[in-house]
Amino acid sequence: MNVQVTHAHLPQPVLPSCPVQKLLRGQKAIVTGASSGIGRAIALALGNAGADVVINYVAGEDKAEEACDQIRHGGSRAIALRADVADEAQVQAMFRQTIERFGTVDILVNNAGLQQDANFEDLSLAQWNKVIGVNLTGQFLCAREAVREFKRRGVQAEISCSAGKILCISSVHEVIPWAGHVNYAASKGGVMLMMKSIAQEVAPYRIRVNSICPGAIRTPINMQAWDTPAAYDELLKLIPYKRIGEPEEIGRAAVWLCSDYADYVHGVSLFVDGGMTLYPGFETGG
């Protein structure tokens, strides 16, 4: 494909001087899968940093509303919007509703994701399609709508140096193979090159695209890996830093990556994993 780039050369940006607590003041964010876990923590962190936030959810309206209340309590606006990210029409409706309510979208956090684990020979096509549908196709559909809106609006210098930010929540399993989780690892490996390819294509429009790759974070998705002392000890063998991560730590990384403090950070997978990707098996041998 021959991609036509018709942008004029944009000036060097004026880098932010705003207080670090309100790094995202005036920005509008959509966080997918934000009623629990990492998505919820990211949504609260963005709200705390001054962004107005759409809490996307597919189930658990009460939890989504509760997260909205917390954000409003901190002084930002928040709305809960139900949409299945794997469904094109629902994603498009969510973006339309966001733009109606908030005027635009400055930040998309592509967080919605799930696991459906099985030994490979037992992995059903339904489990494969479900995980690829939400974790990879869902990120594609949301990112495409975001890029359309960012290009339509362009840079508003008083809001941000960039025309928009996409933050994909990937996983250490975009590089660590994972037996028994082939569908999940394939989806995250796909997110890696999707993110980088989008980043390459939209950079001239001053749209920033990055990923966070969490390691083991204390959320419901991996509860069996940390909720008993024996399981936790096993887990620590995989983590050089010798502790599990907390969802708020991903929230903080997300605020920074979505802010103008990270304006020159583009196309990057930021591992927030306590060193899980450092081949911990080699700590004592090799």
Q: Which stretch binds ligand BGC (CB under 6 A): 41-49, 129-137, 193-201, 215-223?
A: 215-223
Distance CA 218, CA 212 (A): 16
Residue 228 DSSP code: S
Contact (CB, 8 A) for 163 and 107: no
Closest CB to ligand BGC among residues 139, 171? 171
Closest CB to ligand BGC among residues 225, 268? 225
Q: How far is CA 284 from CA 70, 177, 227, 230, in A?
A: 45, 21, 27, 21
Out of 216, 255, 270, 272, point to the residue binding ligand BGC (CB under 6 A): 216
Question: Minimum distance between the CB of residue 13 and ligand BGC, rounded to whole angstroms?
Answer: 33
Out of 93, 99, 118, 221, point to the residue binding ligand BGC (CB under 6 A): 221
Question: Minimum distance between the CB of residue 192 and ligand BGC, rounded to whole angstroms?
Answer: 13
Closest CB to ligand BGC among residues 50, 215? 215
Q: What interhelical angle do 125-132 and 182-202 show, nearest 10?
A: 30
The site map against ligand BGC for 228-247 (x = CB under 6 A) is --------------------
| 222 counts as binding ligand BGC under rule CB under 6 A | yes
Q: Which stretch binds ligand BGC (CB under 6 A): 28-36, 154-162, 204-212, 220-228?
A: 220-228
Q: CB under 8 Å to 281, separation ≥6 — which residues?
A: none
User: Is 184 an active-site residue?
Assistant: yes
Cα torsion angle, 213, 214, 219, 223, sign: positive
Residues 158-187 that bind ligand BGC (CB under 6 A): 171-173
If binding means CB under 6 A, how many residues of this protein chain bind ligand BGC? 9
Closest CB to ligand BGC among residues 24, 41? 41
Q: CB under 8 Å to 284, separation ≥6 — which residues?
A: none
Cα torsion angle, 154, 155, 159, 164, sign: positive
Distance CA 245, CA 1 (A): 41
Matching residue, tokens 């990923």: 211
Out of 184, 232, 261, 264, pick the active-site residue: 184
Closest CB to ligand BGC among residues 33, 50? 33
Question: Minimum distance between the CB of residue 18 and ligand BGC, rounded to whole angstroms?
Answer: 33
| 218 counts as binding ligand BGC under rule CB under 6 A | no
Phi, psi (deg, nearest 5) at residue 65 = -65, -35
Question: Minimum distance between the CB of residue 171 and ligand BGC, rounded to whole angstroms?
Answer: 3
Residues 14-53 that bind ligand BGC (CB under 6 A): none
Closest to 143 measured CA to CA, from 200, 204, 209, 56 = 209
| 225 counts as binding ligand BGC under rule CB under 6 A | yes
Name the strands in the sheet holding 164-169, side by side, starting at the edge strand that comes first in the sequence: 78-82, 52-57, 28-31, 107-110, 164-169, 207-214, 269-272
**Residues of the shown chain interacting with ligand BGC in the complex, contacts defined by CB under 6 A:** 115, 171-173, 215-216, 221-222, 225
Catalytic center residues: 184
